Amino acid sequence: MSFVIETKDLTRVYQTYQKPEGILNSLKGFFHRKYNYKIALDKATLKIGSGQIIGLVGANGAGKTTLLKILSGLVTPSSGTASVLGFKPSERKNEFLRQISILLGQKNQLWWDISPMDSFALLARIYDLNPDAARKRVHDLAEMLKCSHVLQTQLRRLSLGERMKMEIIGALLHEPKILFLDEPTIGLDIVAQETIREFLAQYVKEKSPTIILTSHYMDDIAKLADTLLLISKGHIVYQGTLKEFVAKANTEMAENEEVNFEEVIRRFLETESRLC
């Protein structure tokens, strides 16, 4: 198998300023700043093959978004190396950016005050796409996502679900080989969640991209991912098939007990939150 993503001991430490209480201490702090250090990602070593769909799962604060941001070049690693399609993501070369996409479910990436269609036209210019081909692609994707009717409405007037669908179209416009999806269904109602899930399943079948997907909804992971990547406090604690993961959990269970994927993950996340 050829690997499209490889990391070695990838580590990211965030430094935050610890603001002291009281005005006097604040003034003192101005000259002698105290910092807190948070290891968000700790020596993550990974190999991901072309066409794999990775479900990245971990508790809040485990380091999922940090990993995706490093792999797409939005955050630089503190140490260790990352190679994506043979590029060093932090260099953010055009040729690299044209082949990847990151969707941050908690953040709008399209322009807020214009219609999605106008945003897509701008993106097509940025990515140097043929305008007619890009327009057709937008319409095809919108149809699959059942949201053609809102393409001309100002983004700020759309519902959360409609906005997310627009963000997905924006992320796929340039047909990226690698897609980082960070919580693409977060906060959406069940119908919108299902539409997006079905859409992604169909898209994967047609285009065979490599995807790393994070989600709090295990339905997303179970339906879409073939490989599970479990992360705990910045450490990768499991990388393998979902099936093996469930089978392994079941061998550790009492004889009369059997758990499914969702239940194993629920127990894992519960233990994580107790350890915090």
Ligand X SMILES: Nc1ncnc2c1ncn2[C@@H]1O[C@H](COP(=O)(O)OP(=O)(O)O)[C@@H](O)[C@H]1O
- Give residues in contact with Mg ion (CB under 5 A): 64-65
Q: How far is the CB of 136 from ligand X (least distance, A)?
A: 35
Q: How far is the CB of 73 from Mg ion (least distance, A)?
A: 17
Q: How far is the CB of 19 from Mg ion (least distance, A)?
A: 24
Q: How far is the CB of 60 from Mg ion (least distance, A)?
A: 7
Nearer to ligand X, 115 or 185 (CB): 185
Q: Which amino acid is residue 205, in one-letter code?
A: K
The residue within the footprint of ligand X, chosen from 4, 48, 57, 62 (CB under 6 A), is 62
Rounded to a whole number, what is the largest CA-CA distance in the chain? 63
Which range of residues in 46-54, 55-63, 108-116, 164-172 is near ligand X by CB under 6 A? Answer: 55-63
Q: How far is the CB of 43 from ligand X (least distance, A)?
A: 15
Q: Does 40 bind ligand X (CB under 6 A)?
A: yes
Q: Does 197 bind ligand X (CB under 6 A)?
A: no
Which range of residues in 58-66, 135-143, 193-201, 220-228 is near ligand X by CB under 6 A? Answer: 58-66
**Sites for ligand X among residues 64-123 (CB under 6 A):** 64-66
Nearer to ligand X, 51 or 61 (CB): 61
Q: How many residues bind ligand X, per CB under 6 A?
A: 12
Could you tell me whether strands 79-84 and 210-214 are parallel, antiparallel, or unpaired per DSSP bridges?
Answer: unpaired
Rounded Cα distance, 15 and 21, in Å:
19
Which range of residues in 53-61, 86-94, 154-162, 172-180 is near ligand X by CB under 6 A? Answer: 53-61
CB atoms within 10 A of CB 224: 20
Rounded Cα distance, 194 and 51, in Å:
22
The residue within the footprint of ligand X, chosen from 29, 51, 61, 80 (CB under 6 A), is 61
Query: Which alpha helices (DSSP H) does the chain contain, by range?
Result: 23-31, 64-71, 94-97, 116-126, 131-144, 160-172, 190-207, 218-224, 242-251, 261-275
Q: How far is the CB of 80 from ligand X (least distance, A)?
A: 15
- Three-state SS at 148: helix
CA distances from 234 to 45, 72, 150 (A): 11, 18, 39
* Residue 119 interaction partner, one of ligand X, Mg ion, none, beta carbon < 5-8 Å per kind: none
Which range of residues in 54-62, 85-93, 146-154, 262-270 is near ligand X by CB under 6 A? Answer: 54-62
Q: How far is the CB of 77 from ligand X (least distance, A)?
A: 13
Nearer to ligand X, 158 or 186 (CB): 186
Handedness of CA 166, 169, 174, 178 (dihedral sign): positive
Q: Does 63 bind ligand X (CB under 6 A)?
A: yes
106-141: string of b/e by CB count within 10 Å (b at 16+)? eeeebbeeebbbbbbbebbeeeebeeeebeebbeeb
What's the 3-state SS for 80-134?
EEEEECCECHHHCCHHHHCCEEEEECCCCCCCCCCCHHHHHHHHHHHCCCCHHHH
Contacts of 79 (CB under 8 A, 6+ apart): 9, 11
Note the residues at the interface with ligand X (CB under 6 A).
Answer: 14, 16, 38, 40, 58, 60-66
